[in-house]
Structure 1
Amino acid sequence: MSHFLSSDVGAMTKIISAGYVQSALQTLLFSDESLSKTQERVTSGLKIASAADNSGYWSTATNLKSDGSVLSSIGDALDLGASKADTAYEAVNSLIDVVDQIMTQLTTAYETGADRGNINQAITALKNNLQSVSQAASFSGDNWIYNTSPQLAETKSVPYAFQKDVSGSITLQYLSVDTAQMTLVDTDDASRGLLTADVDASARNPDVSSSARDYFLLNAGSSTGAAGTEIAVSDTTTSEELDDMVYVVGQLSKKLNALGASLGNMSNRIDQQSVFVDSLKDSMDKSVSRLVDANMEEESSRLAAAKSQRDLAVQVVSMANSHRKSLANLFA
């Protein structure tokens, strides 16, 4: 009877121990799987790394990423256009200042006893600055205000906006500027450059009929030069000639100011679109992040919990095995 009871208790002990072990092993397998997935999310930073995780979110995020890449390219194109417009604007702004200084020198030449030799040297130096600033106003090999080609392009175009139709197709929109209005120095044909072309000073007396009195500000060594008189002063320069030169320089200053305003408006329009594109790109990036990025705080908590669950399951298996051996030895 005692042997029967001992055998029976031993069998039950094995069954019970086996149940604990099996339960602990299942817990261990589950915790290992949970730990593995959590570690993947922590390592990649993604809760949805493939379509298998969530096909709907993955598809939406993939489309948003594609749109974001297109917007990045559009932003680059807008930045390039803005840089060209900004380069021309800064150059024109500098030229306005130089022309104003030339006007000051011409005004000084009216004064009795003024050293016109020194005044003319100053004017010559300022005209050299006009040449150098215009020539340096080049961005990515494109100079809007300085031309050296025999054939002058009709327009210059830069992207300033984009359109997206219902099918998702994106097209760029362009701003065009009249090259004839933009060219300030032309080394091939002086008549095509604002600063190198002749200006008729007789227009300052519209009510008086007179022949043309042509003056030009800058001699850029053009293949086809200007026909008028270069603006310069000497001891023989008359007050009438000074009046003509001041008038011509004043007209050039007005046109430069108008050109600077036009370029400034163009630059502002492009900048507004650039800001919009950047904002839209940021919005898309945030949307993608909400869909597929893992919450690292939550995942870190899950990782710690999964590790604790795994360690506990290992301890339960170890204790169950140890207890089973002890019972087996007791009822052997």
Structure 2
Amino acid sequence: MSSLLTNSSAMVALTTLRGINDSMATTQNRISTGMRVADASDNAAYWSIATTMKSDNSALSAVKDSLGLGAATVDVAFTAMDQTVEIVSQIKDKLTAATNGTVDREKIQADIEQLQKQLETIASSATFSGENWLQQDMGADALNKEIAGSFTRDAAGNTQIENIVVDTRTTVLVDTRSTGTNTGILTSDLMGGGVDPTSATDITITTGDIDSLSVKLTPAVGPAPAPVDGITRKAIEAAIEKTFEGLPEGTGAGTQGGFDAAAAKTVAGAVNTRLTALTGGSESFLDLDISTLGNNAVDNGILAAYIDVVDGQLSAITDAATELGSAKSRVDMQKEFASNLSDAIDRGIGQLVDADMNAESTRLQALQTQQQLGIQALSIANSGSQNILSLFR
């Protein structure tokens, strides 16, 4: 039935064209923004997930910045510690050269003093952004250094920052505290514990051959603590060995017939007196001084003790450099992982909300064709009224 008032064909064609135009608007919006899900109205679930992950990725970006700062701080400390190993090795070499009785120990000490000052400079200069891990107040400063390592969210939606912890208790070169026991590698007292060098009165010979001598020191009063290796004990052992080297244990102390505990005790007393005069009872790595040491058994024993404790501190510094190297490697790995994780999250978000430009461009061409056909269909539908008019001619 043809009606002048109601054009059903035009209505259908108009509805179809309106739908095509809406689809085209959606496609054009996706092409212009590059997003398939631009807001919650497009896909509420995907939009919610993507928005949360974008926020987490932003936090992860801040973590990457923190890791970069931490990596730089560790790198500065590691570089300084690596240089410290080299300088301490040089000091050990110069002390070893001083064992030659013909060299001028005062001139060698002048070189050692400059190296000691360089160690102080290295420790004080190993600073990045106000952080110095090699020079700290070990009685007041927080020695566990925390570097933000990752940002995580559990299934319940709870977030957490996980930190990389670097324990610097064994890496501090200079302990700046003014009270309490100094434990810095370069500033700790190297004299040794468990014995007072001014009051040691008892020496026990536990082997019968000076080449495998073992000396035990105990204080004059009170319970005898376990002796701790240090300059005092090492110097006494070395001085006794140098005084009686090659002689069997026996009587007639100090003679070619042998040596005994009394003779060893005399040497120990001489070492104690000499050390007290040299050090005042305490000696750190930065205070070692061989300028006044002579070429005799007591002073040579003290020099041998210096070399021994310097070697021990070199071992401690090497261990500290190893720890910092491991921390540096860990931070670098986490930094790389955080970067890769951020990229993976970006890709995941893209899978949810990004538009497929190839598909959208193809869809746009198809919609444009449909739009043209829809316009043609509407034009044909509207021409029906003109056909009715021709009936009345």
TM-score (norm 1): 0.71
Pick one of 220, 226, 232 that aligns with 1:202: 232
Q: Hey, what's the Cα distance between the residues in 2 that align with 1:130 and 1:154?
A: 23
Structure 1 residue 55 displacement after superposition: 1.7
Structure (1 or 2) with the greater helix fraction: 1
Q: Hey, what's the Cα distance between the residues in 2 that align with 1:308 and 1:97?
A: 78
Counterpart residue number, 1:129: 118
Q: Is the 8 A contact 1:120 1:234 kept in 2?
A: no
Residue 39 to residue 178, structure 1, CA distance change in 2 (3 Å) = closer
Counterpart residue number, 2:361: 300
- Matched residue of 2:182: which SS? helix
RMSD: 4.2
- Matched residue of 2:144: which SS? strand
Q: Is the 8 A contact 1:138 1:144 kept in 2?
A: yes
Once the two structures are superposed, residues 19-61 of structure 1 have per-residue CA deviations (whole angstroms, 9 ceiling, x without a partner) of: 8877765565444322221121112111011121112222222
Counterpart residue number, 1:4: none
Residue 187 to residue 301, structure 1, CA distance change in 2 (3 Å) = same
Structure 1 residue 296 displacement after superposition: 1.6
Q: Hey, what's the Cα distance between the residues in 1 that align with 2:381 and 2:152?
A: 69
Q: Which has the higher contact order (CA 8 A, sep 6+)?
A: 1
TM-score (norm 2): 0.62
Once the two structures are superposed, residues 142-190 of structure 1 have per-residue CA deviations (whole angstroms, 9 ceiling, x without a partner) of: 212113x595325333145677555232334556566553321244539
Counterpart residue number, 1:216: 284
Q: Hey, what's the Cα distance between the residues in 2 that align with 1:22 and 1:161?
A: 60
- Matched residue of 1:50: which SS? coil
Structure 2 unpaired stretches of 5+? 192-230, 241-264, 276-281
Structure 1 residue 319 displacement after superposition: 9.3
Residue 319 to residue 100, structure 1, CA distance change in 2 (3 Å) = farther
Query: Are 2:189 and 1:193 aligned?
Result: no
Structure 1 unpaired stretches of 5+? 1-11, 219-228
Q: Hey, what's the Cα distance between the residues in 2 that align with 1:163 and 1:22?
A: 56
Q: Is the 8 A contact 2:106 2:290 kept in 1?
A: no
- Matched residue of 1:181: which SS? coil
Structure 1 residue 254 displacement after superposition: 0.9
Q: Is the 8 A contact 1:46 1:292 kept in 2?
A: yes
Displaced runs of 4 or more, over 6 A = 18-24, 315-322
Counterpart residue number, 2:51: 62
Paired residues in the alignment total 308
Query: Are 2:144 and 1:153 aligned?
Result: no
Q: Is the 8 A contact 1:186 1:193 kept in 2?
A: yes
Percent identity over the alignment is 31
